[in-house]
Amino acid sequence: MSEDFAVQPGCLYVVATPIGHLGDLSPRAAAVLCGVDLICAEDTRTSQRLLAHIGSRVPMRALHDHNEREQVESLVAQMREGQALALISDAGTPLVSDPGFRLVRAAREHALTVVPIPGASAVLAALAAAGLPTDRFVFEGFLPAKSGARRTALEGLSTEPRTLVLFEAPHRIAGTLADLSDCFGAERPAWLARELTKRFEQFVGPTVGDILDWAHTASEQLRGEMVLVVGGCPESHRPVTVDVERLLRQLLEVAPTKQAARMAADLTGLPRNVLYQQALTIKGAQR
C-alpha cells in the first residue's frame, strides 16, 4: 500500500463508493477498504460485490436505520482500542439520505479522527449534467411517500429560488411528477436522471411536464435509482415580501392607529386585529 494511502489506527473512514460503475472507486478508497479492520455497510450483501471486485477480505458489519443506535457504542469502543473502521453505504457518499450520522457524531464526541474519502455522489452527478444553475442549490432527499404530505412539502418549496435536487423511488416517480406539475407548474425547468453511470443512464427533460409525459409512456424504464433536478422559482413568480413593521411605522406617520392597521391589512392581507396590536406596540415604544 502506498504511504499516502496508509490506514491510521483508531480512525473512522467515511468512504464514498460507486453509484453504478465500479471503475469510479478511487485508488485511495480501495486501499482504505482493503486496509481497515472492519467495514460498516448499509447492506453487506450489496457491498460484497464491490469488495470482491477490489479483493478486500475485510469483515463487514451491517449498519442501517434499524440497528445504528444499538451498534454505535461497540463500534466506538473498537476504535478507541485502536481499530480502524470504514463506513460505506449501498452506493455513493455515506450519510446522504443514508444511515451513519449517529456513528460519525459519536466518533466526534469521543475525539476520534473522522476521515472523509470523497468520491461518487448521485446528487452532484445529476446536478452537474442537468444544465440548471449550480451556484446555489438545495438537496431535499426523499419527499414524503403519501401524496398529501408530499404536496404539502412541495408547496413549501414552490417559491424556493435555488435549484432543487430530489431523490425518488421508481414506483413513486409518476405520482411525484404529477404533484410537482400541480405545485410548480408543468413548465418549470427540470431533468430526471436515472441509472447514473450505469449502462442505461438516461436524462429526461427539459421541463416537469416533459418528464411527466415520459413517465406515462415509459413503464419499462421506470426502474433504477432516480434523481430529480428542478429549477428554482423564477423571480417573476415569487411572492412580494413586505416589511410589515416598516409599513406600519410609515402609515402611523400619516394616519391614526386604527386607520393605519386597516390600510396595512388591505395591502398585506394580514388580519387587521393582529396589525392593530402591532401598531399599538409601535406607538407605545415611540412615546
Tell me yes or no: is domain 123-237 CATH 2.60.40.640.
no
Average pLDDT score over residue span 109-114: 97
Distance CA 38, CA 58 (A): 6
4 pLDDT exceeds 90?
no
Instruction: Kindly report the backbone phi and psi dihedral angles of residue 165, in degrees, each rounded to the nearest multiple of 5, phi listed first.
Output: -125, 125
> What is the tens place of the pLDDT at every residue in 141-193?
999 999 999 999 999 999 899 999 999 999 999 999 999 999 999 999 999 99
Average pLDDT score over residue span 257-279: 88
Name the DSSP letter for residue 12.
E
54 pLDDT exceeds 90?
yes
Output the average pLDDT for the chain: 92
Name the DSSP letter for residue 26.
-
Sign of CA dihedral 205, 211, 217, 223: positive
239 or 244, higher pLDDT: 244
3-state secondary structure of 217: helix
201 pLDDT exceeds 60?
yes
| Helix (H) or strand (E) segment spanning residue 264 | helix 257-268
pLDDT for 220 equals: 76
pLDDT for 238 equals: 60
Lowest-confidence region among 52-56, 131-135, 270-274:
270-274
pLDDT for 3 equals: 60
CB under 8 Å to 243, separation ≥6 — which residues? none
pLDDT for 234 equals: 85
Instruction: Kindly report the backbone phi and psi dihedral angles of residue 227, in degrees, each rounded to the nearest multiple of 5, phi listed first.
Output: -125, 130
* Architecture field, domain 3-120: 3-Layer(aba) Sandwich (3.40)
Crossing angle of the two packed helices 244-252 and 257-268, in degrees rounded to 10 = 140
Confidence of residue 2 (pLDDT cuts 50, 70, 90): low
123, burial (CB in 10 Å: exposed 0-12, middle 13-18, buried 19+): buried
Show me where the domains of the chain are located. Answer: 3-120, 123-237, 244-286
pLDDT for 237 equals: 64
